[in-house]
Structure 1
Amino acid sequence: MEYGNLRRQAASLKKSLFDQGYLDEQFCQVEDLQDEANPNFAEEVVSLFFKDSTRVMLNFEQAIEKHPKDFARWDTHMQQLKGSCSSIGASRVKNECTSFRNFCGEENAEGCTRSFQKVKREHAVLRQKWESYFQLLRQAGPAGTATRPAGK
């Protein structure tokens, strides 16, 4: 497949991630940090994000089991995940973290449980979409600077 076509597919996928609310401007800022010396910087940061966020979610699941209805503890774990999402531009996951924290503030265990399932689902979907995006970029080979989707 032609490299230019792969680049266009990657750009289209990236635009759809923005249009669907999966990503925000922070992701573009991460991509802007890439240069010739470190052309895979964004992919490496995203990989570290998923490694760390998966660990945080596992710790969170353990906290739920060990400390039922300890909303302050739950909120602390979710704040950590929300911060990671904010730093990488994972908008939909971050928004679900905010919803979860709101349920914590209300001490609504059922709402927290439902919201955490949404966090996990959004996290998994984003991982899949980002993997597809970076796979296209790897297939297309090195490029110049990162580009923002139109209108962003």
Structure 2
Amino acid sequence: MEVSRLQRRYIDFISALFHEGFLDSQFTELQHLQDESNPDFVSEVASLFFEDSERLLNELSRTLDQQTVDFKKIDAHVHQLKGSSASIGAQRVKNVCLTFRSCCDENNLEGCLGCLQQVKQECYLVKNKLDALFRLEQQILATGGVVPIMSKD
């Protein structure tokens, strides 16, 4: 596939990720930090986020499965997940975390369990979307093209 078609596909795909709320402007900020000296910066940051998210989600599952649920501990984990999702621009994950924290404040176990399933789903979705985006970037680079960067506005 020619470079210009790959670049157009990339622009359409990333625009859809923003439009569908998967990503926000923080992701664009990360892209602007990437350069020739660190060409895999964004994918490395995303990879660290997903490793950390998996650890936090497992910890949340274990904590919510206890006989006596420690909502303060749950809230601390959700707060951490919210912060890391916000830092990479994973908007839908961050938004579920906001609801999750409200359920923690109310000691709402059913709400927390529902939010846990929802945040797992959103993490899974955004991971698959970003994996596809990074594969498209690699295709563009392999054909000698330049990956288009969204503007900051």
* TM-score clears 0.5: yes
Q: Which amino acid aligns with 2:14?
A: K
Q: Which moved more, 1:43-52 or 1:57-66?
A: 57-66
8 Å contact kept, 1:34–1:145? no
Higher mean displacement: 65-74 or 91-100: 65-74
Structure 1 stretches of at least 4 aligned residues deviating more than 4 Å after TM superposition: none
TM-score normalised by structure 1 residue count: 0.92
Q: Deviations over 1:4-37 (max 9, x none)?
A: 2111111111100100111111000000001111
Q: Which amino acid aligns with 1:81?
A: L
Contact 2:100 2:116 in 1 (8 A): yes
How far apart, in 2, do the equivalents of 1:146 and 1:31 lie? Answer: 7
The reply on whether 1:147 has 2:150 as its aligned counterpart is: yes
How far does the alpha carbon of each residue in 1:97-152 deviate from its partner, in whole angstroms, 9 at most, with x for none?
A: 11000011111110111111100001101111111111001011052662238xx5
Cα distance in 2 between the residues matched to 1:144 and 1:129: 17
Q: Which runs of 5+ in 2 are unaligned?
A: none
Give SS of 2:65's match: helix
Question: In structure 2, how many angstroms separate the alpha carbons of the residues matched to 1:106 and 1:80?
Answer: 19
Equivalent residue number for residue 84 of structure 1: 84
Provide the C-alpha distance between the structure 2 equivalents of 1:67 and 1:84, rounded to a whole number of angstroms.
Answer: 28
Supply the RMSD in Å over aligned alpha carbons.
1.6
Contact kept? 2:27, 2:88, Cα under 8 Å:
yes
**CA distance change for structure 1 residues 22 and 105 in 2, over 3 Å: closer, same or farther?**
same
TM-score by length of 2: 0.92
Alignment pair present for 1:33 and 2:33: yes
Question: How far apart are 1:67 and its partner, in Å?
Answer: 5.9
Unaligned ranges ≥5, structure 1: none
- Provide the identity percentage: 41
Matches within 5 A, 1:2-151: 2-66=2-66, 68-141=68-141, 143=146, 146-148=149-151
